[in-house]
């Protein structure tokens, strides 16, 4: 079911400062900020030869990332994203095996313009998992 690792997401309290650190200190290529109101975040991607790092900050006070940062004020790893060929088939297979899909269970469009779903961290060794259809 799983394809390649698409990205590792890191929640940050200051997106511009974190992006500058990756760009200026590590010499990374950083994309322009992208607001994703449906997900309550603003993101940038650090482009690496084999995957991406997503930096995300809250977009508004109702963002789930705001709650994460309240518990982790310096930021930290938020989720991992894996690619899947067919997100609906993956969802159905996971639900049949007892995994919990967050939200209403229907994919939303993610930062790459592709359908995504999130899986409950308690079902995956304490890690929030995002699936993205390729």
Per-residue pLDDT tens for 82-122? Answer: 999 999 999 999 999 999 999 999 999 999 999 999 999 99
Whether pLDDT at 28 is above 90: yes
How many domains does the structure of the chain reveal? 1
Any idea what the CATH number is for the domain that residue 62 is in?
3.10.180.10
* Arithmetic mean of pLDDT over the chain: 96
Residues 6+ apart with CB under 8 A from 41: 35, 56, 57, 58, 59, 63, 65
Q: Which of 54, 57, 83, 130 is catalytic?
A: 130
CB atoms within 10 A of CB 22: 18
pLDDT of residue 61: 84
Residue with tokens 């990332």: 65
Whether 85 is catalytic is no
Q: Mean pLDDT throughout 47-76?
A: 95
Question: For residue 6, what are the domain limits?
Answer: 2-133
Q: Mean pLDDT throughout 49-65?
A: 94
pLDDT band at 20 (very low <50, low <70, confident <90, very high): very high
pLDDT of residue 108: 96
């Amino acid at each position: 079911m799983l394809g390649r690792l698409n990205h590792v997401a890191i929640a940050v309290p200051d997106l511009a400062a974190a992006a500058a650190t990756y760009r200026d200190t590590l010499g990374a290529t950083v994309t322009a900020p992208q607001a994703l109101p449906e997900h309550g975040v603003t993101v940038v991607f650090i482009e690496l030869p084999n995957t991406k790092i997503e930096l995300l900050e809250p977009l508004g006070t109702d963002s789930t990332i705001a709650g994460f940062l309240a518990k982790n004020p310096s930021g930290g790893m938020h989720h991992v994203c894996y690619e899947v060929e067919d997100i609906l088939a993956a969802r159905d297979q996971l639900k049949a095996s007892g995994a919990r899909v967050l939200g209403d269970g229907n994919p939303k469009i993610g930062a790459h313009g592709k359908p995504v779903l999130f899986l409950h961290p308690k079902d995956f060794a304490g890690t929030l998992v995002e699936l993205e259809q390729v």
